[in-house]
Amino acid sequence: MHKTISEKILADHAGKPEVFPDELVEVRVDFAFGNDITAPLAIEAFRRSGAKKVFDKDRIGLIPDHFVPNKDIASAVQARMLREFAKEFDLRYYFEVGRMGVEHALLPEQGIVLPGDVVIGADSHTCTYGALGAFATGVGSTDLAAAMITGKVWFKTPHSMKFIFRGKLRPWVGGKDLILYTIGQIGVDGARYRAMEFTGEVIDSLPMSDRFSMSNMAIEAGAKVGIVTPDSITEQYVSSRAKRPYKFYQSDPGATYEAVYDWDISALEPMVALPHSPENVKQVTEIANTPIDQVVIGSCTNGRLEDLRVAARILKGRKVAKGVRCLVIPATQLVYMEAMEEGLLEIFIEAEAAVSTPTCGPCLGGHMGILAPGEVAVATTNRNFLGRMGHVDSKVYLSNPAVAAASAVLGRIAHPEEVLS
C-alpha cells in the first residue's frame, strides 16, 4: 500500500511492515531531550519511577536555554537539576551556558538529530526537525521521563496533509512568510494532530534555514509534525554534521492524504501575524505605519546565521529609530561566532541594537526583553498570544527578519523596500 513519509518512519521504528492513520503504535526513539523548564519535571518523574539508569546516555539531551543565563534563583535551581542529572548519568549531550544554544537550532546544527529519526522533546517546537525529514514532535515531561527510561514512546499515527507551493518567491519572502500564509489559510487548529507535509518547487529550492522556520511553526497550526522530504540540500547540510548514520524516506506516489492544498505564491508579499494569534495574518503593506516599541530578531524560528544576514542587510549603515529597542539574539554559540566573523555583530551594534548571548529569553516572556503595558513588538518568534512576551496589555506582531529589521529602522511596521529604496 502507498504510504506517506511519516507513516514509513513510524512503521520502521515500530518494527511493523506498515502503519495506518489513527493506529496506536509504540516506537523506538532515536533522540529525546528537554530544556530548563520541562526537564526538571521529567527528572522528578524519573525519580518517582524508581529507575536507576537511562536507556542510552548518548540518546538523551538536556539543553538549558529558556531562562539562561539564569534570571533568578528559581531558574538557577532548575538549571542545576539538569546539570546534576547529566553528571549522574554521564549524558553525552548536556549543554552548559557558553556551549549551548536555543535547542531547536542547536541540535540540527550539531548533527544530533537527523533524517529518518523519531525525535521527541519536551517542547512543542520539537517539530522543527521535520525539516530534515525526521518525525519529530513535542511531548509532555512525563512522556519524556518514560522515554528516558525505556527508549520508547507511543503515538497515534497521524493523518497526513500535503501542502504544495508553486511559483517563485518575491524578494524578502521566505519560509517564515510561507508558514504564516499557511496558518492564515487553515487556522491554528487546521492541522490538529496531523502531519503537515511541505512540498512543491518552492520548497525544493528553499535553503535549510527556511525549511526549519516552516517546520518549526507547524505546531502553530496544531500539527503533530511538519515534514519536508530530504533531498540534496538536506544531504549537504547533514553530511558534515551527522554524529551517526541516517536514512532518507519519501512518500510514495499515490499515498493517501486527508487534504491537499496547492498554492501559487508568486505574488506573496512578506507576511505579518497580528495580535493575538498566528492565524491573524496580513501582508506587511496592509499594516504599515503601525508604531512599535521593540524588535526581537532571533529564536528557534529565525535566529540562524541566514536570518542575521538578512537583518544586517537592512540595518547596515542605519540606526534603530529613537524610542525603539532592537534585540538581536543569535540562536547558538556557533551562529554568534560566525556572525562575529562576518562582521554582522558590528553592524548590529553600530545600528544601536543590543546583541545577546543565545537564549529563548523574550520569546516566551522569560527575560531579556519583557514588554510593559501598552507596548508593541515586532518579533521573528513563533507565537504572539495574549501576554506572550510580557504584560497582557502588550502586543506582538510576528514577521520575518527583513520586516523586523526594517521596522526597527523606521520605528513602525515596514516593508524592507521602504528602508532600501
- Residue 227 sits in a domain whose CATH number is 3.30.499.10
Same domain for 249 and 102: yes
**Predicted confidence (pLDDT) per residue in 222-249, tens digit:** 999 999 999 999 999 999 999 999 999 9
184 belongs to a structural domain: yes
HSE at residue 325, side-chain half, CA atoms within 13 A, is 18
pLDDT at 288: 85
Contacts of 121 (CB under 8 A, 6+ apart): 32, 33, 34, 103, 136, 138, 139, 144
- Of 210, 241, 262, the last residue of a domain is 262
Contacts of 354 (CB under 8 A, 6+ apart): 325, 326, 327, 328
Same domain for 180 and 65: yes
C-alpha to C-alpha distance for 90 and 12, rounded to whole angstroms? 29
Nearest to 203 by CA among 219, 193, 214, 192: 214
Mean pLDDT of the region 7-32: 98
Report yes or no on whether pTM surpasses 0.85. Answer: yes
267 belongs to a structural domain: no
pLDDT at 301: 98
Q: Domain residues for 210?
A: 5-262
> Which neighbouring-strand residues pair with 33?
61, 121
At residue 326, φ and ψ (nearest 5 deg) are -120, 120
Domain count, the chain: 2
Same domain for 118 and 15: yes
Mean pLDDT of the region 270-299: 96
Same domain for 156 and 45: yes
268 belongs to a structural domain: no
C-alpha to C-alpha distance for 263 and 21, rounded to whole angstroms? 25
pLDDT at 289: 87
Mean pLDDT of the region 325-353: 98
Q: Is the pLDDT of residue 1 over 90?
A: no
Average pLDDT over the chain, rounded to an integer: 97
Contacts of 409 (CB under 8 A, 6+ apart): 314, 315, 318, 319, 320, 321, 351, 419
Nearest to 327 by CA among 283, 295, 288: 295
- Of 234, 262, 290, the last residue of a domain is 262
Q: Can you give the length of the chain in residues?
A: 421
Nearest to 409 by CA among 316, 273, 328: 316
At residue 137, φ and ψ (nearest 5 deg) are -155, 155
C-alpha to C-alpha distance for 73 and 287, rounded to whole angstroms? 41
158 belongs to a structural domain: yes
Same domain for 249 and 288: no
C-alpha to C-alpha distance for 143 and 158, rounded to whole angstroms? 18
Q: Is the pLDDT of residue 334 over 90?
A: yes
Q: pLDDT-derived band of residue 421, with 50, 70 and 90 as boundaries?
A: confident
127 belongs to a structural domain: yes
Centroid of chain to Cα 22:
26
289 belongs to a structural domain: yes
C-alpha to C-alpha distance for 269 and 176, rounded to whole angstroms? 11
> Which neighbouring-strand residues pair with 390?
371
Same domain for 131 and 36: yes
C-alpha to C-alpha distance for 403 and 307, rounded to whole angstroms? 11
pLDDT at 382: 97
DSSP annotation of 268 reads P
**Predicted confidence (pLDDT) per residue in 105-130, tens digit:** 999 999 999 999 999 999 999 999 99
Handedness of CA 246, 21, 150, 137 (dihedral sign): positive
Cell readout for 48 is: 518517582
Same domain for 289 and 230: no
Same domain for 157 and 190: yes
The three-state DSSP-derived secondary structure of 101-145 is ECHHHHHHHCCCCCCCCEEEECCHHHHHHHHHCCEEEECCHHHHH
Same domain for 174 and 281: no
C-alpha to C-alpha distance for 113 and 104, rounded to whole angstroms? 10
Same domain for 239 and 339: no
For residue 415, whether the previous peptide bond is cis, meaning omega lies within 30 degrees of 0, is: no
Mean pLDDT of the region 147-167: 98
Same domain for 312 and 232: no
9 belongs to a structural domain: yes
pLDDT at 151: 98
Nearest to 133 by CA among 119, 116, 121: 116
Same domain for 393 and 342: yes
Q: pLDDT-derived band of residue 209, with 50, 70 and 90 as boundaries?
A: very high
Mean pLDDT of the region 178-189: 98
- Of 262, 283, 302, the last residue of a domain is 262
211 belongs to a structural domain: yes
